Chain A
Amino acid sequence: MNVVALSGSTAGSKTRTAMDYTAASLQKQLPDSDVTLLDLAEYDVQFSDGRHHLDYDGDTGYVVRTMMEADAVIIGTPVFQASIPGTLKNLFDLLPGDGFSGKVVSMLVTAGSAKHYLIAEQQLKPILGYMKAEIVQGYVFIEEKNFYQKQITDDDVLFRIDRLVEDTAFRTGVLTRIQEEQDAAYDF
């Protein structure tokens, strides 16, 4: 299994802190899988110009290829201006329209305030649905108050991340079996 833990912002540190823990949890729970932590802050990703996803090169090409080769993606995102960051939307724009087809995608959201709780529900899920993701419906929402000096201080948050990782992994395995069973139904 090929799992990507994506930190979808170039600003701030909370999402990266949460995704570091998420990646470690993935590695612990799935020792035989390839886990890639992809932090968009570490790459010089260009704006989408509409080209075929294979035609991007450099950092953009690496990021796009890593996403396309994943069986599962845990998207970590902050909330900026009551929405997802432009960096994350740009990553979606770099991918094909049904770029999440056959992939399990789950969400982890960090925000300064609980008022942003439904941003993922109302803004992120519709994009993932359009791009044909198999969405893990429940997401982890982490507030500012759960962080101290780039550490998560609340065990409940850690438990929720562990459960999100478990759900993502389990569903990816099941999705693979569904696909295999469906393909086996055809005699070619």
Chain B
Amino acid sequence: MQQYGIDESKGLEFGIYTLGDHLPDPHTGERISAQQRIQEIIEFAKLADEAGLDFFSVGESHQEYFATQAHAVVLAAVAQATKNIKVASSSTIISTSDPVRVYENFSTVDLISGGRAELVAGRASRIGLFDLLGYDIRDYEALYEEKFDLLRQINEQEKITWSGDYRAPLRNAEVLPRPQKGKLPIWRAVGGTPQSAMKAGYAGVPMFMAHLGGPVDAFKQTVNAYREAAAAGGFDPAELPVATAGFFYAAETTQQALQEMYPHVNEGMKRTNGRGFAKQLFAQGADTRSVMNIGSPQEIIEKILYQHEVFGHQRYIAQIDFGGVPFDKLRKNIEIIATDILPEVRKHTAK
């Protein structure tokens, strides 16, 4: 775990991620400007850092209702504005970028932050960016696998000789600058299915697992598949970190949390995914056995501890800002995490 900067003696790491979505607040119908949204993301990261959270990440989506297409640029600002928190992507769409440029960007963010950068590489759930950036959707899988592999090789080797199908060959190339600790922690983004998790496992790569909703039990199968594949690939699963990422919202009571968050998730999903989020599913999210962390602080503590017991994961990453959640609510959530949730979670998960 050490090579990935994870110290299990301190307990489960707690982080925040944003997809960088830029949606109206359904309670008011108003949408802030892209400029304000980006400034608030940087401010959100500062609050998380000051509150002692471990991790903050920003996603890359090239479509309507998003503002952080240039997520590495936003992360550079986050790196400069924060002191201790790890800064990362969630995710970088490696399929449609040049791994050399991505590595240059993230090692630069790493140097700006003083060695706090990480990279989570995904392949996009939407495909508009293939047209936008000039790639063929037929190469969806192959582009991801080849470029992710190249990215990892660049991380491992200061001088690289490489050839593949989707990029010009590299001959004894030096990709600079190098990150502060020599290497960046690079994670594979997994959408929650065991098939995808197994690919991360076979390659011995840390897994960043995103989930919308559903029982913890169901995602346990994905975590198991990942660890079994890692063992089959000759890696020690005990040395490979797992991060889980999903919806989070805390309020005084579970009822209040559901009331405040539901319109954001429902309306946000309608705009970005074409359909809303069923109330029935959202209501089940309040159950301790559900993977969604929405509820009162006490309920959320119980949920996270239960998830930790089942998954044995190293990092939990909360998505709080989806669907135009106003900034004062984000501030309030960070406060609740820092004062009520984090101390309990750390106390009970520290090894």
Chain A contact residues, CB within 8 Å of chain B: 49, 51-55, 68, 96, 182-183, 186-188
CB-contact partner of B137 in A51, A68, A188, under 8 A: A51
User: Contacts of B322 on A, CB cut-off 8 Å?
Assistant: none
A68 lies within 8 A of B255 (CB):
no
Q: A49-B137, A188-B255, A188-B262 are in contact. Are A182 and B280 (CB under 8 A)?
A: yes
B126 lies within 8 A of A52 (CB):
yes
Chain B contact residues, CB within 8 Å of chain A: 125-128, 137-138, 255, 258-259, 262, 273-275, 279-280, 282-283
User: Contacts of B137 on A, CB cut-off 8 Å?
Assistant: 49, 51
Q: A51-B137, A55-B128 are in contact. Are A188 and B274 (CB under 8 A)?
A: no
B127 lies within 8 A of A186 (CB):
no
User: Contacts of B126 on A, CB cut-off 8 Å?
Assistant: 51-52, 54-55
Chain A residue, CB-CB nearest to B271: A54
| Complex alpha-carbon distance, A104 and B273, angstroms | 21
Chain A residue, CB-CB nearest to B124: A52
| Complex alpha-carbon distance, A186 and B273, angstroms | 23
Chain B residue, CB-CB nearest to A56: B127
Q: A51-B137, A55-B127 are in contact. Are A186 and B274 (CB under 8 A)?
A: no
| Complex alpha-carbon distance, A188 and B262, angstroms | 7
User: Contacts of B275 on A, CB cut-off 8 Å?
Assistant: 68, 96
Q: A52-B127, A188-B259, A188-B262 are in contact. Are A182 and B279 (CB under 8 A)?
A: yes
A54 lies within 8 A of B127 (CB):
no
User: Contacts of B127 on A, CB cut-off 8 Å?
Assistant: 51-52, 55
Chain B residue, CB-CB nearest to A184: B279
User: Contacts of B282 on A, CB cut-off 8 Å?
Assistant: 186, 188
Q: A187-B255, A187-B259, A188-B255 are in contact. Are A53 and B283 (CB under 8 A)?
A: no
B128 lies within 8 A of A188 (CB):
no
User: Contacts of A182 on B, CB cut-off 8 Å?
Assistant: 279-280
Q: How far is the CB of B191 from chain A (nearest CB, A)?
A: 13
Q: How far is the CB of A53 from chain B (nearest CB, A)?
A: 6
B274 lies within 8 A of A68 (CB):
yes
User: Contacts of A183 on B, CB cut-off 8 Å?
Assistant: 279
B279 lies within 8 A of A188 (CB):
yes
Chain B residue, CB-CB nearest to A55: B127
Given A54-B274, A182-B280, A183-B279, output 18 extra A-B contacts at Cβ < 8 Å.
A49-B137, A51-B126, A51-B127, A52-B273, A54-B126, A54-B273, A55-B126, A68-B275, A96-B275, A182-B279, A186-B279, A186-B282, A186-B283, A187-B255, A188-B259, A188-B262, A188-B282, A188-B283
B273 lies within 8 A of A188 (CB):
no
Chain A residue, CB-CB nearest to B276: A102
Of the A-B pairs whose beta carbons lie under 8 Å apart in the complex, a sample of 19, sorted by A's number, is A49-B137, A51-B126, A52-B125, A52-B127, A52-B273, A53-B274, A54-B126, A54-B273, A54-B274, A55-B126, A68-B274, A68-B275, A96-B275, A182-B280, A186-B282, A187-B258, A188-B258, A188-B259, A188-B262
Q: How far is the CB of A179 from chain B (nearest CB, A)?
A: 9
Closest 8 A/B residue pairs (Cβ): A188-B258, A188-B259, A54-B274, A51-B127, A188-B262, A186-B279, A183-B279, A52-B126
Q: How far is the CB of A167 from chain B (nearest CB, A)?
A: 25
